[in-house]
Amino acid sequence: MRDAAPPVLRTAHHGDLPELHGIVTASLVHDPDAARVLTLLWELTADRPDLRVVSESGGVVTGLALGRLAPPSDGPHPRTGHTTLLAVAPGHRGRGHGRALLAGIEERLLAAGATRLVVRGTPPHYAWPGLDIRYTPAVCLVESAGYEHTADAFNMLTDLADADLATAGDERRLAALGVRVRRARPEDAPRFLAWMRGWGGSWAEEAATALAHEPPRCHVAVRGEDGAEEFVGFACHGVNRDTWFGPMGTAESQRGRGVGAVLLRRCLRDQREAGLAESEIAWIAPYRFYARAVDARLHRVFRLYRKDPHVPDHPLSAPEQRS
């Protein structure tokens, strides 16, 4: 049965957070750290509070949508508006609240200057690569709203209790080859982050976040003496979510020597020592490497979506967005 009247949308405010925590925790059943996810995504909208939308029915908050506008690009790419979170209270599902929230956040993203709409992660700070297919009603909602499925992304899972995370022997072998592996240090930041920028994408920003923790959630492989070291590998964990691993990279000159496996195991050991039972390797591509190195298995599948508005002057171009 549908609500007698359509939900009312308004901008969310801090006073809504206790109620929103309950809604998000009840909705994100596949994310045990749902409260942390809400905090992360809420904070990412601090500069654009208009991209925080709640639905109400009878004066009761029934759902939330959060959006984020990607920074302008110097290239030919359109400016992208991301829907980063959409949750509806269990008692109000199937009554049009999710559809209203999605249309509402789209309208605000387009008004803010977006020329492309997506449902996907927003590196360097994100909660998921895309939409977990186990949230089936959300998958149905975005597809019925005219979004095109553009790609899939995957996470892997490692059982930390049973994983062999010893690295002492491999570290001695690498040292004999002139490569030392250690935890990154705050004083590394200027040279390390300059080197990280050579990887492109958002990895330098993600590494900076890992480096800011105490102790740093980043391990590095280096050549040369202290004060004149050359970075040749890195791995981070807990950048956006405590249980997640990544990013990681090894310089081409050092690949095939086992540098990546050592860096990976050192990070996972940090997570195990912090009391975590599992580590989720996020947004991965080299499945075989992780499967062989730490017996990781494919775990979560995410769909990435895009919608290009057809009529630039119209706030919502697809008829189905209005229903």
Same domain? 311 vs 274: no
| One domain for residues 146 and 282 | no
Q: How many CB atoms lie within 10 A of CB 16?
A: 18
Domain co-membership, 276 together with 307: no
Contact partners, residue 281, CB within 8 Å, separation at least 6: 155, 156, 157, 158, 244, 245, 246, 290, 296
Domain assignment present for residue 2? The answer is no
CA–CA distances in Å: residue 20 to residues 119, 130, 263, 289: 20, 21, 38, 39
Positions in the chain short of pLDDT 50: 1, 311-323
192 plus 103 within the same structural domain? no
Q: Are residue 289 and residue 183 in the same domain, yes or no?
A: yes
Quick check: helix, strand or coil at residue 271? helix
pLDDT tens digits for range 245-285: 999 999 999 999 999 999 999 999 999 999 999 999 999 98
pLDDT in the model for residue 131: 98
Q: What is the largest CA-CA distance in the chain?
A: 74
Residue 116 lies in a domain: yes
Q: Look up the pTM and report it.
A: 0.89
Does some domain include residue 69? yes
Q: Are residues 85 and 15 in the same domain?
A: yes
DSSP 157: E
190 and 251 together in one domain: yes
Q: How many domains, in total, are found in the chain?
A: 2
> Does 256 share its domain with 311?
no
The verdict on 285 and 179 lying in the same domain is yes
Identify whether the C-beta of residue 304 lies closer than 8 Å to the C-beta of residue 151. yes
Domain region containing 188: 163-294
Q: Is there a cis peptide before residue 309, judged by omega within 30 degrees of 0?
A: no
CATH number of domain containing 271: 3.40.630.30
Same domain, yes or no, for 289 and 309? no
In one-letter notation, the amino acid at residue 68 is: R
Do the beta carbons of residue 38 and residue 240 sit within 8 Å? no
**pLDDT attached to residue 6:** 84
Amino acid code (one letter) for 30: H
Residue 226's pLDDT is 74
Confidence (pLDDT) at 70: 85
197 falls within a domain: yes
Give pLDDT, residue 309.
82
pLDDT of residue 73: 59
| Same domain flag for 192 and 131 | no
268 and 310 share a domain? no
